[in-house]
Structure 1
Amino acid sequence: MIKIFIFGITGKIGKLIIKLIKINKNFIILGGINKMNLFFFKIKKYKNIFLNMKKNGVLIDFSDSFLIKEILLISIKYKLPLIIGTTGFNLLKLKIIKKASKNIPIIISYNMSIGINLINLIISNINIFLIKFNFDSYIIDIHHNKKKDIPSGTSLMLSSKIKKNNILSLRIKNIIGNHIIYIISNYEIIKIEHFVINRKIFILGILYSIFWILNKKKGCFSMYDVFF
C-alpha cells in the first residue's frame, strides 16, 4: 500500500485527493497539514509518520510557494519522493528545487492534466516550423478570480515552448482553467484550446505520478516524463 502525506490538505486539490484516494485500495493517507499551519510546523510532531513512510511513501505539495524550503528539508531528511503541484515559484526557488533533486526524486508540474501535457508535447514539436513560417503566438489564460498567480504557471509553461508569444490573463468567477493558444500568420490562424470541466483530471495526473516516482532514486522530472 502506498502511503501519502499532503501539504495543503484543506485546499481544493487537497480535499479532492482525499476524496478520490479514500476509495482506492492502493493508497492510504497517513497525514497532512494545511498551508496556514505550516507556519508553525514542527517536524518532530510528525516524525513517526515520516519514518513510517520510508517504504512506499510519497509527499504531495499543493500548499504555497513560500513554504517549499521546509517541505524540501523534510523530503531530503526522510528520503521521500516529492510531487509538487504548487505554482508561483521564482527562479531562486526553482534552483533550490533543482538542487534538492540531486538527493531525492521530485516531480514538479504547473498542470497535471493529460490534455495540457499533450498540447505541450504538440507545440514543442511544431515550434521549429512556427519560426520557419513566421507565425506569431498568443496565449489566453482564463481562471477563477481567486487564483493568485498571474499569468498562470500553465501559460508560462506553454509560453516557454513557443517563440514570439504574448500572454493575456483573465480572472473570471468560477472558471477552473481555460487556455487558448492562437498561432497566427498573415494568411491563417491555428487555434488550440484546453478547458477543464472537472478538477478530477488533476488527481488522475497525480495518481500516475505517484506510481511513476516510487521507482526513482533522484532527479527533477515533469509530467512529460510521467506521461511520455
Structure 2
Amino acid sequence: MVRIILRGCNGRMGQEITKLAKSDEETEIIAGVDVSNRFENAYPVYDTFSKLKEKGDVIIDFSSPNGLQEMLDYSISTGTPIILCSTGLSEENIQAVKQTAEKVAVLRSANMSLGVNTMIKLIKEAARVLSNGGFDIEIVEKHHNQKVDAPSGTALLLADSMNEELGGDYDYVYDRTDVREKRGVNEIGIAAVRGGSIVGDHEVIFAGLDEVVEVKHIAYSRAIFAKGALSAAKFIKGQNPGLYSMQDVIGTNER
C-alpha cells in the first residue's frame, strides 16, 4: 500500500486522483494540503505542510508553484519522495527541485499520461531519423479556454525531448506573425490553440519534401493524468534520491 499526501487536493486534478485512488487497492490518500476547502474529502486537509500530522510514503503535487518551497522543505525533513506535476515553474523553482532531488527521490513531469510519455519515445526516434532527411518539425497543442499558460508544459516537454535527441541545436519559434523571412532549418515551431473544453491535444508534425509524418495524442479526460500519477507514486516509493521522469515509470512497465 502506498500512502499518499496530495497537494492541491481540492483542484480539478486533485479530485480526479481522489476518485481514482478510491478504486485502487494499492494506493490510499491519507491527507491533503490545499488553501481551498471547497470540497469535503474522506481524508483530513491542511492549508500548510507545517500542520500535517500524517506520515505518507509519497507526496503527489498537482498544485501551483506557489508554496513549492514549503513542500520541498517538508520532503527533505521527512524523507518523503515527491511526484511533481506542477507546470509553470521558474528557473529558481527548477533549481530548488534539483537540490531537493539530491536528498530525496523526485519524479518531475509536465504530463503524467502514459500515452504522452510513450509518444515522447516515438518522436525522439522520428526526430533522429527524419532530421537527416530535411524534415521540418512543428508542434500544435490545443487546450480548453480556461488554460492561462501557452504553450503548454507538455508542448515544451515534447520539444525538449526532440531537441535533446538532436544535440540541443534547435531554437523554438512561437509566433511567426512579425517574422518576414523563410523558416530556418534548425527550428521547432510551437503553436497554441485555446477553445471550448478541450482537455489536451498535442500533435507533432514532421514535414518533408512530398511527405508528412504526424504523431498525435488526444486526452479525452483528466483521468489519464491521475492514472499516471498513481503509477508514478507506486514507482517512486523506496527509490534512492535522484531526479526521475515518467520515462523511468514506462521503463518499469516494459520489464
Q: Could you state the TM-score of these two structures normalised by the residue count of structure 2? A: 0.81
2:128 maps to a residue whose letter is I
**Unaligned stretches of 5+ residues in structure 1:** none
Correspondence for 2:14: 14
**Candidates 25, 28, 45, aligned match of 2:51:** 45
1:177 aligns with 2:200: yes
Summarize deviations over 1:6-25 as a string: whole Å, max 9, x none.
Answer: 11101111001111111223
Q: Helix, strand or coil for the counterpart of 1:205?
A: helix
Summarize deviations over 1:142-178 as a string: whole Å, max 9, x none.
Answer: 0011112210010001011334211000111100000
CA offset at residue 43 of structure 1?
3.8
Aligned 1:6-155 pairs, distance under 5 A: 6-35=6-35, 41-46=47-52, 48-49=53-54, 52-53=55-56, 57-155=57-155
Cα distance in 1 for partners of 2:218, 2:49 equals 39
Correspondence for 2:181: none
Higher helix share: 1
2:225 maps to a residue whose letter is F
Cα distance in 2 for partners of 1:188, 1:93 equals 41
Summarize deviations over 1:62-115 as a string: whole Å, max 9, x none.
Answer: 000232211111111111010011111122211111111000000111111111
Q: Bigger relative contact order, structure 1 or 2, given CA contacts below 8 A and separation 6+?
A: 2
**Number of equivalenced pairs:** 220
**Candidates 171, 180, 191, aligned match of 1:168:** 191
- Conserved in 1, the CA contact under 8 Å of 2:2 and 2:237? no
Cα distance in 2 for partners of 1:42, 1:89 equals 20
CA offset at residue 128 of structure 1?
2.2
- Conserved in 1, the CA contact under 8 Å of 2:85 and 2:108? yes
Bigger Rg, structure 1 or 2: 2
The share of aligned pairs that are identical, in percent, is: 30
**Unaligned stretches of 5+ residues in structure 2:** 38-45, 163-169, 171-186
Correspondence for 2:166: none
CA offset at residue 36 of structure 1?
5.1
- Conserved in 2, the CA contact under 8 Å of 1:4 and 1:30? yes
